[in-house]
């Protein structure tokens, strides 16, 4: 084929290396950061995302056993589309024009004719069906719930690490030796990885179906995975040589029982493997490996064959060559893709909507969303300094109620733009004095005074302390008048003092003198 310079050669000393020149007119599908429509299309209705989420019971089962199996992710028709693409990689005589984009391609990883295992990485760059597998919400949404041990069941952003393809021919299909995936991935940290194994044929022990060792995801060596005991996957039982007595006693594999189109999700330390295919049927499967956003490179070597170097301690993100080809990691998940659709998909609240407080009180606003990956923050107008905490889709802002924060507008923001309606903070200091104070003699026994209350905020109580000589009375802010009837009324003047007060302190005093005559009409001074 024009543009293809040489055939792939699987030399013994460089198994898996892909020495094929990519056709100049071949489009690297890693440049496409959304599904292409072969298996799925971009989701436009936000309500769809939640339909793919796991139940809490399924999440708990994953963390208990180290894996979750039997989740339907592909239809039979979709499986056929994928297998049609798979067939094009089997032709030894006619190399596919995109073959050079594989990170690895092992036509037979064991090298033994009676133990054949085709194993490849990178087919998502080459065909549309394999490309779209990485974007399937049926696997990306559950993965976002399972990948982070610090946020079990909560949804976090994920990225594509790489994909894989496994195929065992009938009768002489090879084994995949017991291993932990993270043993091969220690060049990336922290360990927030997930493997999704998708059966393209029904899997049974006879066909060499996937097996798990339940609860083996707790097996490690000083925080590190078990060592690699057979890089060619050919020696099925080699891992047992490095197990402790306790681990050996617990080594009781169970078959995944995967049916065609169903998937299993397993922990990066889950011990798993598969026996030889002795049946009359092929056993084929595709695999997607995700990492949590923020996983970084712990090596100064390229993370995969043929990809640009990501220097040690740098986060694994989309990397571009000089030609602009993005060929390593892409933002995959519901949440990176979903951000263009979130306008109607999340609940997003701030409480309380308005706060009325006294000077020097501590004031707290709380914000929450049902999308736990959001790191929420607050914006105040005018800008004021407070204590802010944010975690797992929740945030709080604490302020000290001073005159500077009176009337402050508080808004809660998410990184991609959605915000709450503003809430407000009002601070009340000591109250002003009453106004329009008037008084007169009510009858031959009593006097009456009234006033307009000082300005106050809703919910903040003002008290009035009314003194007439040695008599003193306390009234709350719902009363704006007072009747005074002296015990022994005489013909004289009475001085009324009205002091305002609240939690913040005392306000100023207003006064009025009311003349009183026991037998004649009152006089107002």
Please check whether residue 185 is in contact with residue 126, taking contact to mean a CB–CB distance below 8 angstroms: no
Buried b (16+ CB within 10 A) or exposed e, 229-248: bbebbbebeebeeebeeebe
Stretch 233-255: mean pLDDT: 95
Location of structure tokens 């736990």: 372
Q: What is the DSSP string of 448-494?
A: EEEEEPPP--TT---EEEEEETTEEEEEETT--EEEE--SS--SEEE
343 phi/psi in degrees, rounded to 5: -55, -30
CA 123/CA 105 separation, integer angstroms: 9
Quote the pLDDT of residue 246. Answer: 97
Domains and CATH numbers, the chain: 57-338 (2.60.120.620), 346-428 (2.60.40.10), 435-524 (2.60.40.10)
Asked which of 89-93, 329-333, 420-424, 462-466 is least confident by mean pLDDT, the reply is 329-333
Quote the pLDDT of residue 466. Answer: 94
Stretch 8-33: mean pLDDT: 68
Asked which of 27-41, 166-180, 231-245, 348-362 is least confident by mean pLDDT, the reply is 348-362
Tell me the CA distances in angstroms from 353 to 222, 345, 413, 424, 425, one per residue in order. Answer: 50, 22, 15, 7, 9
Closest CA to 192 of 234, 131, 150: 150
Question: Is-cis flag, bond preceding 232, omega within 30?
Answer: no
Assign 272 a pLDDT band (cuts: 50, 70, 90): very high
Tell me the CA distances in angstroms from 193 to 48, 68, 307, one per residue in order. Answer: 25, 15, 20
Location of structure tokens 């944010």: 390
CA 381/CA 402 separation, integer angstroms: 15
The per-residue pLDDT of the chain, averaged, comes to 83
Residues in the chain: 525
Please check whether residue 474 is in contact with residue 442, taking contact to mean a CB–CB distance below 8 angstroms: no
pLDDT of 35-78, one tens digit each?
899 998 877 776 677 788 899 999 999 999 999 999 999 999 99
Asked which of 92-96, 127-131, 510-514 is least confident by mean pLDDT, the reply is 92-96
Query: HEC states along 434-446?
Result: CEEEEEEECCCCC
CA 218/CA 196 separation, integer angstroms: 19
87 phi/psi in degrees, rounded to 5: -60, -30
Quote the pLDDT of residue 418. Answer: 54
Contacts of 44 (CB under 8 A, 6+ apart): 341
Tokens of 417: 């733009």
Instruction: Give pTM, 2 decimals.
Output: 0.63
Please check whether residue 82 is in contact with residue 133, taking contact to mean a CB–CB distance below 8 angstroms: yes
CA 454/CA 485 separation, integer angstroms: 25
Quote the pLDDT of residue 487. Answer: 84
Q: What is the DSSP string of 322-340?
A: TT--B-S--B-SHHHHHTT
At residue 344, the 3 state secondary structure works out as helix
DSSP code of residue 348: E
At residue 139, the 3 state secondary structure works out as helix
At residue 365, the 3 state secondary structure works out as strand
Closest CA to 209 of 266, 283, 110, 118: 283
Stretch 316-320: mean pLDDT: 50
pLDDT of 473-516, one tens digit each?
888 877 899 999 988 877 788 999 999 988 778 888 999 999 98
361 phi/psi in degrees, rounded to 5: -65, 155
CA 157/CA 145 separation, integer angstroms: 9
Stretch 165-174: mean pLDDT: 93
């Amino acid at each position: 084929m024009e543009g293809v310079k040489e055939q792939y050669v699987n030399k013994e000393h460089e198994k898996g290396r892909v020495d094929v020149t990519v056709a100049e007119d071949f489009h690297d599908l890693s440049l496409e950061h959304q599904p292409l429509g072969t298996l799925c299309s971009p989701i436009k209705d936000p309500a769809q995302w939640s339909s793919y989420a796991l139940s809490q019971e399924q999440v708990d089962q994953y963390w208990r056993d180290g894996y979750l199996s039997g989740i339907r992710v592909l239809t039979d028709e979709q499986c056929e589309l994928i297998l049609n693409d798979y067939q094009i990689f089997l032709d030894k005589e006619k190399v596919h024009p995109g073959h050079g984009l594989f990170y690895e391609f092992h036509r037979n990883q064991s090298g033994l004719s009676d133990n054949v295992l085709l194993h490849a990485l990178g087919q998502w760059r080459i065909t549309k069906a394999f490309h779209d597998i990485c974007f399937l919400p049926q696997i990306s949404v559950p993965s976002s719930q399972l990948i982070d041990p610090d946020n079990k069941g909560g949804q976090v952003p994920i990225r594509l690490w790489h994909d894989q393809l496994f195929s065992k021919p009938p009768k002489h299909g090879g084994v995949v030796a017991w291993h932990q995936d993270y043993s091969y991935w220690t060049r990336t940290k922290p360990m927030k990885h997930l493997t999704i194994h998708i059966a393209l044929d029904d899997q049974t022990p006879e066909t060499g179906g996937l097996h798990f060792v339940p609860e083996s995801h707790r097996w490690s060596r000083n925080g590190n995975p078990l060592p690699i005991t057979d890089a060619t996957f050919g020696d099925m039982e080699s891992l047992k040589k490095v197990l402790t007595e306790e681990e050996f006693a617990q080594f009781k594999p169970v078959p995944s029982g995967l049916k065609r189109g169903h998937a299993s999700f397993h922990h990066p330390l889950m011990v798993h493997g598969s026996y030889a295919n002795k049946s009359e049927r092929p056993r084929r499967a595709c695999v997607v490996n995700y990492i949590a956003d923020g996983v970084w490179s712990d090596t100064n070597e390229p993370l995969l064959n043929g990809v640009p170097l990501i220097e040690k301690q740098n986060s694994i993100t989309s990397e571009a060559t000089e030609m602009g080809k993005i060929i390593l990691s892409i933002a995959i998940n519901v949440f990176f893709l979903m951000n263009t659709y979130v306008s109607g998909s999340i609940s997003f609240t701030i409480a309380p909507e308005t706060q009325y407080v006294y000077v020097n009180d501590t004031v707290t606003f709380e914000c929450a969303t049902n999308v736990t990956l959001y790191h929420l923050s607050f914006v105040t107008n005018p800008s004021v300094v407070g204590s802010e905490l944010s975690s797992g889709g929740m945030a709080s802002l604490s302020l000290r109620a001073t005159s500077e924060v009176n009337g402050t507008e508080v808004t809660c923001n998410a990184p991609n733009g959605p915000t709450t309606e503003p809430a407000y903070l009002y601070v009340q200091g000591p109250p002003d004095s009453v106004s329009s104070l008037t008084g007169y003699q009510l009858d031959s026994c009593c006097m009456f005074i009234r006033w307009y209350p000082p300005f106050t905020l809703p919910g903040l109580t003002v008290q009035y302390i009314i003194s007439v000589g040695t008599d003193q009375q306390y009234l709350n802010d719902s009363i704006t008048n007072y009747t005074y009837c002296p015990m022994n009324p005489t013909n004289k003047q009475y001085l009324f003092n009205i002091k305002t007060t609240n939690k913040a302190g005392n306000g100023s005093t207003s006064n009025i003198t009311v003349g009183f005559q026991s037998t004649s009409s009152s006089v107002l001074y």
